[in-house]
Structure 1
Amino acid sequence: MILGIDEVGRGPWAGPLVVGAVILGGADIEGLNDSKKLTKKRREALDEVIREQAAAWALGWVSAGELDDVGMSQALRLATRRAVKQIQSQCKEKNLAFDEIIIDGTVNFLADTALERYVTVMAKADGLIPSVSAASIIAKVARDQFMTEQDVVYPGYGFASNAGYGVAKHRAAIERLGVTPLHRLSFAPLQKYAGTEGNSQLSSSSQIKHQQGNTTRQIGDMGEQTAADWLTADGHEIIARNWRTRYCEIDIVSMKDDVLWFTEVKYRKNDDFGGGLAAITTKKQRQMRFAAELFMAKHPQYEGCDMRLLAVAVEGNPLTVRKQVVLE
């Protein structure tokens, strides 16, 4: 019952820092190794096996904006503690207990916590300790998939192929297009762009929505108000509306029975709900989960609350909530 921990994304110019944490338990998975020594196809295959067979696994994410705010050292600690917190919750639910923590590298990111005494730091552990190898694999696959998705949101930078590293094509794109909310402006090569990330020639979907005409924006606001009223009538306490960071946004955050709900509101003029809720793709759900984790990190008073994602479809005249989907 060794808890293995490893990070990916320390060096890229763009994108999140991700820490993987895995307890393999009795799982004997063939082929585990340092993720950097595996092919993409092999990593993805092992990622599926690890998620299915490991006794517990988790990912801790820190956005580029958070990293800029706190620095790399604190970001590594924050991502590690987010991952370990999830592992502890899983262990409690499954009645599991780990008796050792091995962190790849030379720094104990759990120093000054109650878990410090269980930690061994080990250079090259991702190639030596199976649970650490597994942690490096799930973190690498998750981050690469996220950056591939962001290549669609911010085309031209090559995020799908370079994962945010400062390769020549990426550098040239920055010079041509400017920076995005994914870029780490605290990194020396990008510091000259600080304060200009909103001036990229590209627009994310949220920026496009903001630039639309007043009528569309007003209807969107009315749709969100209708959803908020529906939630309130159902016993929810509205905590936040249109909560935003440079990295993501959440339409409505509410609390009911000690569960924190993160709601995405979709408005459609007709009964074609598929056109609205169909937009809640797997990619969108990942973004919603990431936004929810950021919200929790910035609001520690809600620590310990369960989290749920909700999609709400609003339509008609007058506007009415017609369909709700609880997302996994």
Structure 2
Amino acid sequence: MALSPVPSTTPDWAFEREHWRRGYFRVAGVDEAGRGAWAGPVTVAAVILPGLARDYPFRDSKQLSAAQREVLAAEVRAVAVSWAVEHAWPEEIDRLNILGATHAAALRALARLDPAPQALVTDYLKLRVDVPLSAPPKADALSYSVAAASLLAKTERDRVMAELDGQHPGYGFAGHKGYGAPAHRAALRELGVSEVHRRSFAPVRALLGAPAPLFGDAE
């Protein structure tokens, strides 16, 4: 099947080069998928690309079709110096809040990289780490390393949501991926809350009749 043209918005190496100039050559890109969903995990990927400043076809996963993402994610895995993907599941999200759980999953992914990164570029994730960190907004559209991470995070989370669709039929997880689509809201009203829903998120919490969590509205 022929793929559609890759979008023209092209990342570059500007953020990585700032670290390279300081002698930090193993720069990991970090991105997540699923922070705003009502169900399923938030998924974080970390990727170290070869520091050759070459052009890649990697783009922000939100700009691409599912077929394009799968092709490019396979290329990321093939060319990366190191990569890792980690999930934070609803229990951890409800316990830590969504931002805390995202940070925890990011740190787990980074700990699995071998060799370890010397610096990071993230999509506005201001992680507490002992290496230099750049965390610009929209980094998945600006940095090759973060775009590569976005591809791995999105494709892996979509795979997980397809599995959850089979385990919890009727919610439509394979289609809306756990986000707040009208069909998801209707399924929640009809079927109730499943074990993979985030109970701290307002629409789910409302169905449970539960009070707001101590850390505030997690949605």
Same-fold call, TM cutoff 0.5: yes
**Which of 58, 67, 72 lines up with 2:93 in the alignment?**
67
**Cα contact 1:26–1:55 (8 A) shared by 2:** no
Give per-residue Cα distances to partners, 1:180-216, cap 9 Å, x unaligned.
11101101111134499xxxxxxxxxxxxxxxxxxxx
Superposed CA deviations along residues 22-59 of structure 1, whole A, max 9, x for unmatched, are: 00115756321111001110000011111121000011
Q: Which has the higher contact order (CA 8 A, sep 6+)?
A: 2
Q: d(CA) in 1 for partners of 2:97 and 2:61? A: 25
For structure 2, list consecutive stretches of 5 or more residues without a partner in the other structure.
1-25, 211-219
Which residue, 31, 43, 53 being the options, matches 2:57? 31
SS in 2 for 1:161: helix
TM-score, normalised on structure 1?
0.54
**Any idea what SS the aligned residue of 2:135 has?**
strand
Render the CA deviation track for 1:132-162: whole Å, top value 9, x for unaligned: 0000000000000100111111111111110
Higher strand share: 1
Q: 1:188-245 CA deviation, whole Å, 9 max, x = no partner?
A: 111134499xxxxxxxxxxxxxxxxxxxxxxxxxxxxxxxxxxxxxxxxxxxxxxxxx
Paired with 2:82 and 2:185, the residues of 1 have a C-alpha distance of: 38
The DSSP-based 3-state class of the residue aligned with 1:184 is coil
- Whether the 8 Å CA contact 1:22–1:58 is kept in 2: the answer is yes
Structure 2 counterpart of 1:192:
206
The corresponding residue for 1:114 is: 130
Matched to 1:7, the amino acid is E
Please state how far the C-alpha of 1:100 moved relative to its aligned partner: 2.2
- Equivalent pairs counted in the alignment come to 184
Corresponding residue for 1:141?
155
Equivalent residue number for residue 17 of structure 1: 42
Of 90, 113, 137, the residue aligned with 1:123 is 137
What secondary structure sits across from 1:57 in the alignment? strand
CA pair 59-29 structure 1, distance change in 2 beyond 3 A: farther
The SS at the match of 1:85 is helix
- Partner residue, 1:8: 33
Residue 178 of structure 1 corresponds to which residue in structure 2? 192
The residue that corresponds to 2:172 in the other structure is 158
Larger Rg: 1
